A and B are shown apart, each in its own frame.
Chain A
């Protein structure tokens, strides 16, 4: 009897399998039009944000060719300290010089929005990643070990879930300056010990009773090996799904905190609206008159949040067999 010899190295086979599963996943995903829409919007925003460095250069060549001294002094397209001296009064409505108008301090709204876009991505994804990493590890180990570890983390989740997260973040804003990164870290950690552990633990429990876990145990695999190599890969699709929803939550929370003026973030979409609010342009009749101060930024927040949610829902229909079409 001749032994079967596989000439290809292992990693190549793995790669092939991975590509194949990715392809079938994509076939399923393609049918979800809403999820595709979400993905499209996310890609649009990613490109939109990355184009930011080009924007001042283009505008300079179009409108400031003969006034490079003025351009260098006032930096009209700087999102934080910019000012346009050639316009009589700020906020000014959208014009060719400022496609989305200027805010009460004379800063260009489009520049502010573009500048903030990558930051929103960083914030949302960092927070969601931290949440998912914590949640997955805790969920998997709570399900695997059971007993004291399980009880401890589940009760901890109960307490974390008791706190209204926005209210808690407001209190924390008194302790420290909530910069973008700190905010992402805190939101990620808080959400990571919360309800996500319950969901992932439930999923990990269904994995734990499968025969291959026993098989791995009988070959002498260590606990850590089983958790990281067998349980976590099987609950990873679900964690990835929750990551999408958490991105939405993180961006929304940041926007609300900035809007209430409690976060120490120099520029973000929420800050743009807060600027309009604190300088009194969101009162009575001025709401409609100065629409460019709040509408574009608000629409951006909504669009990015909902596109991540759409993406999550689309993935959920693939991952969750209950929702799959027969």
Chain B
């Protein structure tokens, strides 16, 4: 295992360097540059021109700049953004990443829970009504033109029902006199969600040790409900609850859209694996023992079909950064995807390279985690 991990990490490092190089030269070769919009000004004297070029680092030839970039990259410095001038690219990413990740983690979690439950039921009663409807609806949503879904949701929930805000991250009127920045409140919200997740996982572990089903259920439900109630009370007492609620309200629509869009992916994977597992002999044995249908389905079949789903989950988390472009544009959500589009439009080279490189790192780490998870979860797999 360790040997495998070492080899894999080495491979990832090599891949990353090749990737960064390709990205760098690709963006470098893009026609035009950020300085051009200043240099095009005919009133500039040659000295100012030279000065401008020097300040943006364009006076050196491209390969020297590449070496400098690589040197900085090794010290985890992705440079300084042009369009947000003195801000570092890493700062921009650090500011925007939580928003994108929160959006995608929530929707991916919801869609995987949904996909897991629907997929196992669909496969269990193959060609039944549920199988047919979920497959049909799932594939239609899976291949839907994402902007169409976003427009439709905005129209339905924002315009017709008027219960949710149309887009943006916050409501500016509300935040005019806010004591804290939106980012601070958002980070605190994230922490709350994280605490909830940890409590939930611990409760899950404890309940697995317990013997009877009612005991399991009590532990799980009481702990989750207590955490939710306690966190809500803390938020209300802190006085920032209106602001937190504003952010949550703005999050509902993008999360809903993304969930609808992506639940079929996990559902189809779950269904196909289940179909494979159902044929195993131990399922027949379990049925022959006279176990209830639900128990065979949930305990014997679904547990073993879960593996591809879990690894798929991790890998799909890796693609969140790149996949956010459409959703974030449609909902004006200031995340990584929108930053990418903005950087592309303003030719903000350092930010563009930084975002692509960061996405690559994210994907590579996700793949590594998926590999490790695979080995941990499936005792048959030995590296």
Interface size on A, as a range, is 35 or more
Expressed in whole angstroms, the Cα–Cα distance for A264 and B133 within the complex equals: 38
- Whether, in the assembled complex, A252 has its beta carbon less than 8 Å from a beta carbon of chain B, the answer is yes
Task: Determine the residue in chain B with the shortest Cβ distance to A171.
Answer: B26
In this complex, which of A171, A175, A256, A323 has the most chain B Cβ atoms within 10 angstroms of its Cβ?
A171
Residues of B within 8 A of A309 (CB): 139, 142-143
**Contact residue among B15, B30, B148, B360 (Cβ-Cβ distance under 8 Å from A175):** B30
0/1 interface trace, chain A 158-171, chain B, CB 8 Å (1 if under): 11011110110011
CB A211 to nearest CB in B, in angstroms, measures: 27
Interface residues of B in 178-199 (CB under 8 A from A): none
Contact A162 B363 (CB under 8 A): yes
Interface residues of B in 1-56 (CB under 8 A from A): 15, 18-19, 22, 26-27, 29-32
- Whether, in the assembled complex, A126 has its beta carbon less than 8 Å from a beta carbon of chain B, the answer is no
Interface on chain B toward A: helix, strand, loop, or mixed SS?
A: helix
Contact A313 B15 (CB under 8 A): no
Interface residues of B in 233-287 (CB under 8 A from A): 268, 272, 275-276, 279
In this complex, which of B142, B148, B166, B323 has the most chain A Cβ atoms within 10 angstroms of its Cβ?
B148
Expressed in whole angstroms, the Cα–Cα distance for A255 and B275 within the complex equals: 34
Residues of A within 8 A of B144 (CB): 302, 305-306
Expressed in whole angstroms, the Cα–Cα distance for A166 and B322 within the complex equals: 8
Contact A313 B344 (CB under 8 A): no
Contact A167 B322 (CB under 8 A): yes
Interface on chain A toward B: helix, strand, loop, or mixed SS?
A: helix
0/1 interface trace, chain B 138-164, chain A, CB 8 Å (1 if under): 011011111110010011001110000
Contact A284 B148 (CB under 8 A): no
Expressed in whole angstroms, the Cα–Cα distance for A248 and B22 within the complex equals: 28
Contact B147 A259 (CB under 8 A): yes
Contact B329 A260 (CB under 8 A): yes
Interface residues of B in 334-375 (CB under 8 A from A): 340-341, 344, 352, 356, 359-360, 363-364
Contact status of A294 and B151, CB under 8 A, knowing A167-B359, A248-B143, A302-B140:
yes
Residues of B within 8 A of A170 (CB): 325, 340-341, 344
Interface residues of A in 268-326 (CB under 8 A from B): 273, 282, 284-285, 287-288, 294-295, 298-299, 301-302, 305-306, 308-310, 313, 322-323, 325-326
- Whether, in the assembled complex, A174 has its beta carbon less than 8 Å from a beta carbon of chain B, the answer is yes
Residues of A within 8 A of B160 (CB): 288
Expressed in whole angstroms, the Cα–Cα distance for A308 and B29 within the complex equals: 36
Contact A162 B147 (CB under 8 A): no
Contact B155 A288 (CB under 8 A): yes
Residues of B within 8 A of A325 (CB): 126-127
0/1 interface trace, chain B 302-346, chain A, CB 8 Å (1 if under): 000000000000000001011101100100000000001100100
- Whether, in the assembled complex, A155 has its beta carbon less than 8 Å from a beta carbon of chain B, the answer is yes
Task: Determine the residue in chain B with the shortest Cβ distance to A305.
Answer: B143
Residues of A within 8 A of B268 (CB): 313
- Whether, in the assembled complex, B135 has its beta carbon less than 8 Å from a beta carbon of chain A, the answer is yes
In this complex, which of B135, B144, B145 has the most chain A Cβ atoms within 10 angstroms of its Cβ?
B145
Task: Determine the residue in chain B with the shortest Cβ distance to A307.
Answer: B143
Contact A162 B139 (CB under 8 A): no
Count contacts between A and B, CB distance < 8 Å: 117
- Whether, in the assembled complex, B175 has its beta carbon less than 8 Å from a beta carbon of chain A, the answer is no
Expressed in whole angstroms, the Cα–Cα distance for A310 and B140 within the complex equals: 9
Contact B139 A175 (CB under 8 A): no
- Whether, in the assembled complex, B136 has its beta carbon less than 8 Å from a beta carbon of chain A, the answer is yes
CB B158 to nearest CB in A, in angstroms, measures: 8
**Contact residue among B31, B148, B154, B360 (Cβ-Cβ distance under 8 Å from A162):** B360
- Whether, in the assembled complex, A34 has its beta carbon less than 8 Å from a beta carbon of chain B, the answer is yes
CB B136 to nearest CB in A, in angstroms, measures: 6
Interface residues of A in 142-199 (CB under 8 A from B): 155, 158-159, 161-164, 166-167, 170-171, 174-175
Task: Determine the residue in chain A with the shortest Cβ distance to B160.
Answer: A288
Contact B135 A34 (CB under 8 A): yes
Expressed in whole angstroms, the Cα–Cα distance for A299 and B127 within the complex equals: 27
Contact B18 A285 (CB under 8 A): no
Residues of A within 8 A of B26 (CB): 171
- Whether, in the assembled complex, B60 has its beta carbon less than 8 Å from a beta carbon of chain A, the answer is no
Contact B143 A306 (CB under 8 A): yes
Contact status of A260 and B145, CB under 8 A, knowing A164-B321, A287-B151, A310-B139:
no
Residues of A within 8 A of B19 (CB): 159, 162-163
In this complex, which of B22, B147, B276 has the most chain A Cβ atoms within 10 angstroms of its Cβ?
B147
CB A165 to nearest CB in B, in angstroms, measures: 8
Expressed in whole angstroms, the Cα–Cα distance for A175 and B6 within the complex equals: 39
- Whether, in the assembled complex, B71 has its beta carbon less than 8 Å from a beta carbon of chain A, the answer is no
Expressed in whole angstroms, the Cα–Cα distance for A182 and B143 within the complex equals: 23
Give 5 A-B pairs besides A159-B15, A302-B145, A306-B139 with Cβ atoms closer than 8 angstroms. A164-B356, A167-B340, A255-B145, A306-B144, A323-B272
A-B contact pairs, 20 of them (CB 8 A): A33-B132, A159-B15, A159-B18, A162-B15, A163-B360, A164-B323, A164-B359, A170-B340, A171-B344, A248-B143, A260-B329, A260-B341, A287-B151, A287-B159, A294-B148, A298-B145, A301-B148, A306-B144, A313-B139, A322-B272
4 tightest A-B CB contacts, nearest first: A164-B322, A298-B148, A305-B143, A306-B143
| Interface residue ranges, A against B (CB under 8 Å) | 33-34, 155, 158-159, 161-164, 166-167, 170-171, 174-175, 248, 252, 255-256, 259-260, 273, 282, 284-285, 287-288, 294-295, 298-299, 301-302, 305-306, 308-310, 313, 322-323, 325-326
